C-alpha cells in the first residue's frame, strides 16, 4: 500500500487519466487533480476517466468526482497553469507531495522541473507522442529533466499529437508507467530509477533507460551542489 502521500497530478488528459487510474491501482489515497480544460467528445477514447455524459464539464472536477466515488480523497483545481506563476503556486502544497506532470506543454514541463528542483520536491514527469513515451522520476540530489534535455523544444519544431499522431493505448501505457514511478517513489522503492529517462518505444516493445548522471552545468547542480548522484546500477530489480 502506498503511504499517505499527497499526489498532485498536473493535466487530466490522455496521460493524466491513466496516471490517475494507476495511482488508484497503486493504493494512493490523496490526490489533487489540476486541469483547466473541459471534456471533449473527440478525446474520450484515450481520456478514459470520462464518458459522453461528461462532455463540456471541467476535467478536473469530473476526474476528482470519479476518484472520490472509488474512495479516494480527491480535490479538483480547475485552473490554468502558467510557467511564470508555477513556482509560487506549487509552494502551497505539502512539502512531501509527489508531483506528477502530465500536461502537453513543453514550457510547463521545464518550469515544473525547475520548481520541483528548487523546492526539493519529488517529481514524475512524462510525455507521449506517436508510439513513444518518455517518463522520468526526479528526487532531491538526482539528475533532473534538464540534465537530459537542456531546454524545451521550440513550438515550431514540436509536432503536436494531431500532426504526428498518437495511439491512445500508448499514452495509456505511459500514464500508467508514470503512476508506477510515483507510487514507487512514495514507497521508497524507486531510488535506483530516479534521474533516468525511460523511453518507451511501444512500436518495437523496447524500454530503454537514458542518462541517470547529473549533467555538469545543469541548474540542479547549483541547487544541490554537495549531494552525490544516486546509484545508477540496476533498476527495478
Partner 1 sequence: MATVRIPTPLRKFTQGKDEVTIAAASVRELLANLEATYPGIKERICDETGAVRRFVNVFVADEDIRFLENLDTAVKDADEVSIVPAIAGGR
Q: Where along the sequence are the contacts to partner 1 (CB under 8 A)?
A: 11, 13-16, 43, 102-106, 109, 126-132, 134, 148-154, 157-161, 164, 166, 171, 174-175, 197, 199, 203-204, 208, 210-211, 213, 215
Cα 12 to Cα 146: distance, rounded to the nearest angstrom: 24
Q: Least distance from C-beta 96 to partner 1, angstroms?
A: 25
Closest among 124, 127, 16 to 77, alpha carbons compared: 16
15 vs 220, beta carbon nearer partner 1: 15
Put residue 120 in one of left, alpha, beta given phi > 0 → left and psi -120 to 50 → alpha.
left
Cell representation of residue 219: 541548474
Cα 32 to Cα 195: distance, rounded to the nearest angstrom: 24
Q: Least distance from C-beta 60 to partner 1, angstroms?
A: 14
77 vs 132, beta carbon nearer partner 1: 132
Closest among 139, 87, 92, 91 to 112, alpha carbons compared: 87
Cα 41 to Cα 23: distance, rounded to the nearest angstrom: 24
4 vs 150, beta carbon nearer partner 1: 150
| Bridge partner list, 123 | 99, 138
User: In which residue are the cell numbers 518505444 written?
Assistant: 201
141 vs 212, beta carbon nearer partner 1: 212
72 vs 128, beta carbon nearer partner 1: 128
Q: Least distance from C-beta 182 to partner 1, angstroms?
A: 15
Q: Least distance from C-beta 127 to partner 1, angstroms?
A: 5
11 vs 58, beta carbon nearer partner 1: 11
Q: Least distance from C-beta 194 to partner 1, angstroms?
A: 17
Q: Name the strand (E) or helix (H) holding 221.
A: helix 219-223
The answer to whether 117 and 144 have CB atoms below 8 angstroms apart is: yes
Q: Least distance from C-beta 4 to partner 1, angstroms?
A: 27
Amino acid at each position: 500500500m502506498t503511504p499517505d502521500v499527497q499526489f498532485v497530478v498536473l493535466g487530466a488528459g490522455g496521460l493524466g487519466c491513466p496516471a490517475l487510474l494507476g495511482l488508484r491501482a497503486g493504493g494512493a489515497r490523496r490526490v489533487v487533480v489540476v486541469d483547466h480544460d473541459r471534456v471533449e467528445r473527440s478525446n474520450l477514447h484515450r481520456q478514459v476517466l470520462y464518458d459522453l455524459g461528461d462532455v463540456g464539464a471541467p476535467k478536473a472536477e469530473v476526474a476528482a468526482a470519479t476518484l472520490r466515488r472509488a474512495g479516494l480523497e480527491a480535490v479538483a483545481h480547475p485552473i490554468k497553469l502558467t510557467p511564470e506563476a508555477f513556482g509560487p503556486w506549487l509552494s502551497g502544497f505539502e512539502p512531501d507531495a509527489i508531483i506528477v506532470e502530465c500536461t502537453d506543454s513543453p514550457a510547463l514541463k521545464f518550469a515544473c522541473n525547475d520548481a520541483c528542483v528548487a523546492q526539493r520536491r519529488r517529481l514524475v514527469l512524462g510525455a507521449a507522442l506517436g508510439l513513444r513515451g518518455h517518463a522520468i522520476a526526479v528526487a532531491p540530489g538526482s539528475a533532473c529533466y534538464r540534465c537530459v534535455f537542456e531546454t524545451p523544444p521550440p513550438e515550431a519544431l514540436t509536432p503536436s499529437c494531431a500532426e504526428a499522431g498518437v495511439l491512445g493505448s500508448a499514452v495509456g501505457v505511459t500514464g500508467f508507467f508514470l503512476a508506477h514511478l510515483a507510487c514507487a517513489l512514495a514507497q521508497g522503492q524507486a531510488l535506483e530509477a530516479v534521474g533516468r529517462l525511460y523511453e518507451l518505444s511501444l512500436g518495437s516493445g523496447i524500454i530503454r533507460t537514458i542518462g541517470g548522471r547529473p549533467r555538469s552545468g545543469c541548474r540542479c547542480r547549483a541547487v544541490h551542489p554537495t549531494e552525490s548522484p544516486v546509484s545508477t546500477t540496476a533498476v527495478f530489480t
